[in-house]
Structure 1
Amino acid sequence: MRKLIAITFSFLILAVFMGCGPTNHNEKDAENKLTPTSGDKFYGGVFRVNESEYIKNLYPLSIIDIYSYRIASQIYEGLFKFDQKTLQVVPSLVDSYAKSDDQLVYTFKLKDNVYFHDDKCFENGKGRKLSAQDVVYNFNLICTYNRNNQYAHLFTDIVKGAVEYYDATKENLSFVRTPEGLEGVAGFKVIDALTLEITLLKPNSMFLYNLARPGSFIFPREAVESYGEDMRTKCVGTGPFQIASVDEDISINLSKNENYHGVDEFGNKLPFLKAISVSFIKDKKIEFLEFKKGELDMMYRIPTEDIIDVLTESDETNENFKYHLQRIPEMSTQFLAMNNQGKVFQDINIRKAFSFAIDRQRILEYILNGEGYMEGYHGITPPVFKNYDIEQITGYKMNIDSAKYYLAKAGYPDGKGFPKVTLDLNTEGEQYSNVALEVKKQLKDKLNVNVELKISPFAQIAEKSIMGRYDFLRLAWIADYPSPENYLWAYYGKTLPENPEEKSWPNLIRYSNPKFDVEYEKALASIDQNQAMVHFMNAEKILMADAPFIVLWYDEGYRLIQRHVEDFPNNPMQYRDFSTVYFDKTH
């Protein structure tokens, strides 16, 4: 993930939404009609946003990409979520919680006013009240073996009895079909209708973060029984928005959840927006034109060639500025993954040769036109976390002599006899393809190595990465929670499947080093956050010494929003909470 956010609804006005046919002026005026409320805020309006790749899966236990996450997080909620301004973990479905002195037993009291979305999976189509039993049902499901479950690691080896339960369900799949016949994970206990208790095996510094991640989003048993694998797009949660319509590869439309439990500091019932319309235009130039015409309320990532113009048109020192530019270093790292168990890149010498051959400065300055925070000279973790100085991590800078030395050591002097490798990538505008072309050129010029480029939709890239069916892969890791651990958990060796033909998530590069695992486990067991950071740093140093991937650059996010958009702060994680966003067209 990771990364990895989302948006969903259910309403009737199809013509209102982008991608659903032409809209006349009267309809558009109606949809954008705003009603004032307390705190000088306004109800109403349809927020239009574009994603350059279509979603893969909105079922919480299957979310592995940022496009799905950005939509799903508007539909579903966990016990906790992130504050959009500070990225601190804050209560969401939880009213209060406490933990024992030994840090092992957590007691959670749920809010008394949370209801699932109205949906036909319920009797009479009316969403029922959330209970502690729903949470325990979901958490047991996380600990259940299933090919669509990518989040068992949230609780296995952390919660009492989770591993035993997971292993039992793996041996007997009938457990999945008859969950009421099981006592469930020993560490999950319902105390009363609104109270549950979770017992850990040992203290875990990341536990509350885990409860805010997409795998911990809560949904009702009725939805699972009614929709099964169709929960990919048939979503029933408790969030501020719900699915209204889905047009595969074209648009997803979300409508306001009229029964949402949230209120703002003025007592206004949330959300303010009437709906969210998500389009999937793949060409960033077309998306930019739509934004400039006012057909989109936000644009994330700008065509490289337009950056200079954007800086001028968004200059707020000029009273005629057109839109707001939100610019911030991100919790996002762009890198090239190498299959560490593949026939080519299982050799550390080849991985090091490729790592030393890449001119990251040229890529950032000339190919990206400076649209990035800094070159990837250190580890996989970007330079955005306090008390975590990535400059202590030795990565790789271009060194042609070293690159040639390691390639010769691998048995390919001057690239002679080196097999052709394929670099798989998805498109997000022309940025990634331009970078891939430059990488191909550099490897040919410096190592006499041939790289074939293959561009595919993101869904295919995701499937290849999980199954290990690739040599070389362009990826970005975008945090779904604010901690260096979010970058390092993907390389924990104990998440690797015993059978190399099985899916591997999150360890997509199939990396394993017991020394790394030891430091990573020490970090998780640390009660003191500063001590945890020391062990994470030690683990990342071990990781980078093995050159398991090529870090290219650390991102800086360019996000444009129209002048009428309010209460939509940017953050390094690109975590988006539309529940408090509103339109103010009085200026």
Structure 2
Amino acid sequence: MRKLTAIILSFLFLFLLGCGNSNNERDDAQMVLTPAKGGKFYGGVFKVNEAEYIKNLFPLSIIDIYSYRVASQIYEGLFKFEQKTLQVVPSLVKSYAKSDDQLVYTFKLKDNVYFHDDKCFDDGKGRKLTAQDVFYSFNLITTYNKNNQYSHLFSGIVKGADKYYEATKHDPSFFNSPEGLAGIEGFKVLDEFTFEITLVKPNSMFLYNLARPGAFIFPKEAYEKYGEDMRTKCVGTGPYQIASVDEDISIILSRNDNYHGKDEHGNQLPFLKAIDISFVKDKKIEFLKFKKGELDMMYRVPTEDIINILAESDETNQNFKYHLQRTPEMSTQFLAMNNMGKVFNDVNIRKAFNFAVDRQRILELILNGEGYMEGYYGITPPVFDNYKIDDIKGYRHNIDSAKYYLSKAGYPEGKGFPKVTLDLNTEGEQYSNVALEVKKQLKDKLNVDIELKISPFAQIAEKSIMGRYDFLRLAWIADYPSPENYLWAYYSKNLPKNPNDKSWPNLIRYKNPRFDVEYEKALLSNNEKTALQHFKNAEQILMADAPFIVLWYDEGYRLIQRHIRDFPNNPMQYRDFSTVYFDKTH
């Protein structure tokens, strides 16, 4: 599970360094660079755009990729992902050991890590991180709280986690009581920089969990001072810190001069002076800004411009303008169906919709080929070693089957079928064009009417969590590199007992005990081959229930300006700006 497939590596471009002067006009103050060891340079402001504004930067509330990309520059966990290979590597941890029975993990923390300077501290100066901070953050993860979307990270995994969670659920004051402050049985502070975790049973994904956003470490002082305001008031240990927030417009991150990281040459990280993140929804405007040199990177270019981009980024041409980074991604585009909703609680309707959608037409004609493969198989994209998705039977365009299942559901020729709303967010024209095509296909093939409703991402996120939707456009982008990341969302034990409560990550409110059994067997497996087979069994059960419509597996087009260095692309779009620098010679 931890290895990327050769198919990914074969599509990664190894970019040659172009010659000549850059045509981009940059503000002189922003581009003042000073030499560092190894031919690198300090300075410069990296400008990047996101199509949607962040929802919440508080680690326990991060559920969207836009917030994750920003927060991962500010916060750190015990582990992180290596940007090029996506392997799990130590971050705040200097070393760790695991007992022979794979139940006890002992972590030695770095002793030179400081939190960002912030007025939450008595003197305004960031203090040193200790094992007590890990203890505090991890106990908070396992509490019942409306803003906590990550209690599942340790539930059923760490000794005493479930008991602690139930105690906080029945008594909101428990966390600050003497018993609550004593913490979870499985968490122990051995000394100032040593932390121990005891599991209930072996878990093959445990270190991955410690690299996820919910496991970012923050100080008690910040949580007690800011509370819900930690949505944008962030205090972490990362290479960058919040400099300014202009709601819905921009976020500026400034260099953390007291960061603990160094590169292979001994240079103090990070190199960049700042990161300027804008939030322009129109991809055409974003592309224009990139071509004018006002942005250093662009992700997901307008579909109609792809042919020109391929020509302008062809590095065999010495006049090429920018680098194109292109790779199959750990991202699956799909239409979610509320499995407990009034319409899609019927598996026959879900199957009818799945068979009615022509995925090949969408990929070739609507997306102009901007995608890696049609979604004919499961929810997991084709990027993982020893996990062949073509072993999983999904759905292909078949009108006879679509009509059969719709009739079986009680709606022959679509007669009497209720009007369904397809909700989608406003990220460029790509998704709206696909939604229009799906609407047309369902009307033409099944005589079913679909109403489209476009809303800001924040509203879509709230609808999905609360289950207030029928039909919803979603994308699942991995936050750790494993097929398990695509399947854990459908584990029924992640469902709330009250159907009116928030449901994360099981947004479609799917439940099948047979799926749960195979999923649990995978987590308990002692070797990768066995675990992957159980994951595959679980995914086949999932797809037989047709809980969503897999449309396509993504292929990412990312453009970066010629002067950008040490910013490798990866299938997860995991971004670590700590090592990125501007090349003064370009």
TM-score, L = length of structure 1: 0.95
Secondary structure at 1:365 match in 2: helix
| Residue aligning to 2:410 | 411
Q: Does 2:561 align with 1:562?
A: yes
C-alpha change, 1:412 and 1:207, in structure 2 (3 Å) is same
| Residue aligning to 1:88 | 87
Distance (Å, rounded) in 2 between the aligned partners of 1:83 and 1:511: 33
CA offset digits 1:382-414 (Å, max 9, x no partner): 000001000000000000000000000000000
Q: How does 1:313-328 map to 2 (within 5 A)?
A: 313-328=312-327
CA contact (8 A) 2:120 2:221 kept: yes
Q: CA deviation at 1:585?
A: 3.0
Q: How does 1:56-455 map to 2 (within 5 A)?
A: 56-178=55-177, 181-455=180-454
Distance (Å, rounded) in 1 between the aligned partners of 2:440 and 2:199: 51
CA offset digits 1:117-166 (Å, max 9, x no partner): 00000011000000000001000000011010000110010000000000
| Residue aligning to 2:21 | none
Q: 521-530 or 548-557, which moves further after superposition?
A: 521-530
Distance (Å, rounded) in 2 between the aligned partners of 1:582 and 1:268: 12
Q: How does 1:521-540 map to 2 (within 5 A)?
A: 521-540=520-539
Q: CA deviation at 1:428?
A: 1.3
| Residue aligning to 1:12 | none
| Residue aligning to 1:513 | 512
| Residue identity matched to 2:468 | R
Secondary structure at 1:278 match in 2: strand
Q: CA deviation at 1:381?
A: 0.2
C-alpha change, 1:414 and 1:183, in structure 2 (3 Å) is same
> Mind listing any 5+ residue stretches in structure 2 that lack a counterpart?
1-23
Q: CA deviation at 1:176?
A: 3.4
| Residue identity matched to 1:518 | V
| Residue aligning to 2:494 | 495
CA offset digits 1:521-571 (Å, max 9, x no partner): 000111211111010000000000000000000000000000000000000
| Residue identity matched to 2:194 | T
Distance (Å, rounded) in 2 between the aligned partners of 1:189 and 1:285: 52
Q: CA deviation at 1:31?
A: 1.9
Percent of aligned pairs sharing the same letter: 82
Distance (Å, rounded) in 1 between the aligned partners of 2:561 and 2:265: 24
Secondary structure at 2:29 match in 1: helix
CA contact (8 A) 2:26 2:294 kept: no
What's the C-alpha RMSD, in Å, of the aligned pairs? 1.1
Distance (Å, rounded) in 1 between the aligned partners of 2:512 and 2:208: 25
Distance (Å, rounded) in 2 between the aligned partners of 1:391 and 1:237: 42
C-alpha change, 1:309 and 1:26, in structure 2 (3 Å) is closer
| Residue aligning to 1:482 | 481
Distance (Å, rounded) in 2 between the aligned partners of 1:46 and 1:96: 33
Distance (Å, rounded) in 2 between the aligned partners of 1:527 and 1:205: 7
Distance (Å, rounded) in 1 between the aligned partners of 2:543 and 2:83: 31
Q: 28-37 or 326-335, which moves further after superposition?
A: 28-37
| Residue aligning to 1:10 | none
Distance (Å, rounded) in 2 between the aligned partners of 1:99 and 1:259: 31
| Residue aligning to 1:9 | none
Q: CA deviation at 1:180?
A: 7.5
| Residue identity matched to 1:35 | T
Q: CA deviation at 1:178?
A: 4.4
CA offset digits 1:4-54 (Å, max 9, x no partner): xxxxxxxxxxxxxxxxxxxxx999212210001100000000000000000
Distance (Å, rounded) in 1 between the aligned partners of 2:572 and 2:41: 27
Aligned residues: 563
Secondary structure at 1:81 match in 2: strand
> Mind listing any 5+ residue stretches in structure 1 that lack a counterpart?
1-24
| Residue aligning to 1:572 | 571
Distance (Å, rounded) in 1 between the aligned partners of 2:36 and 2:411: 70
Distance (Å, rounded) in 1 between the aligned partners of 2:324 and 2:29: 28
Distance (Å, rounded) in 1 between the aligned partners of 2:298 and 2:69: 14
Distance (Å, rounded) in 2 between the aligned partners of 1:189 and 1:421: 51
Q: CA deviation at 1:179?
A: 6.9
| Residue identity matched to 1:303 | P
Q: CA deviation at 1:280?
A: 0.2
CA offset digits 1:305-331 (Å, max 9, x no partner): 100000000000000000000000000
Distance (Å, rounded) in 2 between the aligned partners of 1:403 and 1:30: 61
CA contact (8 A) 2:354 2:546 kept: yes
Secondary structure at 1:534 match in 2: helix
Distance (Å, rounded) in 1 between the aligned partners of 2:116 and 2:519: 39
| Residue aligning to 1:471 | 470
| Residue aligning to 1:4 | none
Distance (Å, rounded) in 1 between the aligned partners of 2:25 and 2:325: 32
C-alpha change, 1:178 and 1:121, in structure 2 (3 Å) is farther
C-alpha change, 1:181 and 1:442, in structure 2 (3 Å) is closer
CA contact (8 A) 2:378 2:394 kept: yes
Distance (Å, rounded) in 1 between the aligned partners of 2:446 and 2:256: 57
| Residue identity matched to 2:203 | N
Secondary structure at 2:474 match in 1: strand
CA offset digits 1:173-198 (Å, max 9, x no partner): 01234478532110000000000100
| Residue aligning to 1:5 | none
Secondary structure at 1:97 match in 2: strand
Distance (Å, rounded) in 2 between the aligned partners of 1:123 and 1:499: 42
| Residue identity matched to 1:501 | N
Distance (Å, rounded) in 1 between the aligned partners of 2:248 and 2:544: 41
| Residue aligning to 1:21 | none
Q: Does 2:31 align with 1:40?
A: no
| Residue identity matched to 1:219 | F
Distance (Å, rounded) in 2 between the aligned partners of 1:187 and 1:528: 24
TM-score, L = length of structure 2: 0.95
